[in-house]
Structures are given as structure tokens and as C-alpha cells.
Amino acid sequence: MKRPSILLILLSVFLLGSEALAQRPRPTADLPKWEGVCETPQMGWSSWNKFMTDINEDIIKENADALVSLGLADVGYVYVNVDDGWHGERDENGFVTENPEKFPSGMKELGAYIHSKGLKFGIYSDAGDFTCNGCTGSRGHEYQDALIYAMWEVDYLKYDWCHTANLDAKGAYTLMRNAIRKAGRPMVFSICEWGTSKPWEWAADVGHSWRTTHDIGPAFLPVPVSYTAQGRRNWKPQSVMEIIEQNAPLREYAGPGHWNDPDMLEIGNVITVDGITYSMTPSEERAHFTMWCMMAAPLILGNDLRDISEETLAILKNRELIAVDQDPLGIQGLRLRKEGDLQYWFKPLVDGDWAFCILNAGEKPVKVALDWSALEVDDSLSGRKTDFAGTTYIGRDLWNSKARPISTARKNVKVTVPSHDVAVYRLTPVKH
């Protein structure tokens, strides 16, 4: 009988070995995101909306000081996020450094200062070769950057999406998530790719929040034309009302540890371009803040805290609305219906309570006669129902603590909602 050649024996061994390797479970590089760091929407301050890239360590430290001295940290605003414009060059080993003129003490020392105030330290980077304003991006250096952030004791990373040609969003953000986990320091991971790849459909296991819209501006209604602001050409910011329309249908994707992010707060900000000033009235700012709380959105301040009015501060420190945003159920509010310029919203809260809001986007105040039978809610997402027919709820006005409470037992309760404003109540069932 003819014996098999040595070549055939070696080939057989190779094929058998290859088959065994193919059947063996293969290691995966996927690492879980950090859990337990963002069970309610994140709250803090960011340098971007007011300062864009015109930042330095004094501006950051002074705004961190203000978070504490103004009592904002006491109500939950604890992250101090250094946005685009802090980067220097990479060193000879490829590690990113800070801009030495803007941050002469270094980012590690800045983080230590922020931590000494009882606050948390946030930083910014981009998945592309460059950040949106041309600084050093993280592409190709993800693990190095995550490691240096961990060494700087960073608590929060906002990760942008400029200059990302030929990159897949889910892959790029997953890569940075893995790098953060490998670096060993828990961080909130804020995905900022403006909703272009529908991150709400894939990002719950990747990040802790994801932008659902393009950049916001200090405008309640749509801005009619693009404008140039602080070096940004042909930028048409989105208004509060535009963003609400985009974010409202996405409530099923939000929950503890994974939030829809309709962008930062513009309360207290003013932009003047070509002689035109863009800002919001106090009523518009109340509506902006209220709707972000109703939508369980991150509350990231974007104004200069060193120059803030008492009226703006009172809006930002409204503890009862913050409690609506930070409610541990973590359910984004439901827009029950629209009637012309009016929108009716409900948000399930702990202990059987509800937040109830009427938003008036119109140019005139509206007097509303509430028909509770037409406002019953059967929310399949939360499994919660109202029972206005059988249960009396007492409604506390969340903007006017001295206002007389409303009762669902009263027929034809009348509420006046000013133009570009809200009426918002916490409805609590009466226990018999």
C-alpha cells in the first residue's frame, strides 16, 4: 500500500489545526462602558457655548469657582468641561499635550484644582484627525488619549465628529469606549456626532449620552439665516423649538445610563453678529429649561457664570424642575398632543407623581381651560397611567411656589400660558 507523503501529512495536520482554531472561541476586543456613572442625566458647565475656542485656565477655574459660590454645585451642576481649544501638539511618543500658552499649569493641575472644589473634570476630543476647530484629534491615538486622560484624572469625555472621512461612527465610538475602559478610570462618555448616524439606535452600550441634533444657539424660534460667529462661517444654529421637534420622538431610547442629548443650555447667553443680537427672553429661557427637564436631557450650562443675572441664576437653580430632570425613573417626557401653538407634555415620576407641562410656542398668551378627561395618559413605555376620573391629583406650580395649587377634581381649571413660555406642575395623587 502506498504511504502518504510527508507533504500530505503536514497538510492534514495544518487543516485539522485550522479547523480546531476556527471552532475555538475567539477573544474579543469589546469592553463594556463604565456603568453607574450616569444613572441620571449629567449636570455641569461647558466652555463651548460662550467662549468657543477662546479659553484658558483662568476662565475655566473662575467658572468652576462660580459653580460653587453661586450654589449651582449644591443643586447638581458638578462637571466642569473644557471643550475645543485646549489641545497642544503631540509629544515625541504620540501623547497629546495641552496648549502651553492657554494652560501653562497643565491639564493635570487644572483637574486637581477642579477636584479640590468638589467638582468633576471634563475634557473634549474628536474622533477625526482634527477637532472641529483644527486642533489635534484622536484618530489613531485613541488608546494613548484615553490613557493620558486617566492619568489626568478626567471624569468626562465629550467626543466630537469633525474631520472623520471614511470612518464609521459606531466603530469609532466603540473604539474609544474600549480605550476608556482599558485605561481603567471611570468616565462619562458623551457622544457628539449630531444624530447623523442615528446613535439612539446603537449607542446605549457605547456611551452615556448621544447628541440628537446639530448645535443649539441662543434662539427660541428658528434662525432665518446662517451667520458667522467667533470664526464659524455659515453656521445656522438650531433653535429650542426645532430641537424639541427632533428630540421628542426619541423617548423610547433614553433611560438610566443612556440619554438623548439635545445639546447644551443657552440660558444667559447673548451673541451679536453683524449688528444683530441673538438671545432669549426670560420667558423663553424658562421654557428652554423646563423642556430640557421634561425630556430628561443632560443639563450642561453654557453661559459665563462670572457675569450672571439673578433672574438667570434663579432659572438654573430651580430645584423642583431639576428634580423632574433627575427623577430616578429616568423616563423621557411624553408629548401627549399638540393644538396649534400649544403642546401638552407629561413625564412619569417616582411615587406615582407626574410632571405636567403646557408649552406655548405662539406670539400671544393663551388661557387654557383644562379638561382632565381629555388628558388621560396611558404610557406603554413606562407602563404608567393617569386616573383623573378616579383619583384627585394636586398640582404644584413649579415656577411660582406661591401660586395656588390646581386640582384635577375641579372642572374647567383655567391656566394662562404666556407667549413663548410654559405652565408646569408636579401632579401628586391625594392619598385617602
Q: Which of 313, 318, 295 is nearest to 303 (CA)?
A: 313
Any idea what DSSP says for residue 375?
G
Q: Is the dihedral of CA 341, 282, 319, 121 positive or negative?
A: positive
For helices 107-116 and 57-69, the axis angle rounded to 10 degrees is 10
Q: What does the alpha-carbon distance between residue 13 and residue 2 come to, in Å, rounded to a whole number?
A: 19
- Grid cell locating 101: 500658552
422 and 286 Cβ atoms separated by less than 8 Å = yes
Collapsed DSSP state (helix, strand, coil) of residue 336: strand
Q: What does the alpha-carbon distance between residue 398 and residue 78 come to, in Å, rounded to a whole number?
A: 23
End-to-end CA, the chain: 97
Q: Which residues are registered as beta bridge partners of 338?
A: 343
Which positions are catalytic?
160, 215
Q: Are strands 393-397 and 421-429 parallel, antiparallel or unpaired?
A: antiparallel
Placement of cell 413649579 in the chain = 398
403 and 394 Cβ atoms separated by less than 8 Å = no
For helices 282-294 and 240-247, the axis angle rounded to 10 degrees is 10
Instruction: Give counts: helices (H), strands (E), the chain.
Output: 10, 24
**What torsion, rounded to 10 degrees, do the Cα atoms 147, 205, 298, 366 define?**
160
Q: Give the DSSP per-residue string, 301-319.
A: E-S-TTS--HHHHHHHT-H
Q: What does the alpha-carbon distance between residue 156 and residue 170 come to, in Å, rounded to a whole number?
A: 19
Question: Which residues, 6+ apart, have CB-to-CB distance to 399 below 8 Å?
Answer: 286, 290, 318, 422, 423, 424
Distance (Å) of CA 198 to CA 191, 204, 216, 337, 381? 11, 11, 18, 25, 20
82 and 119 Cβ atoms separated by less than 8 Å = no
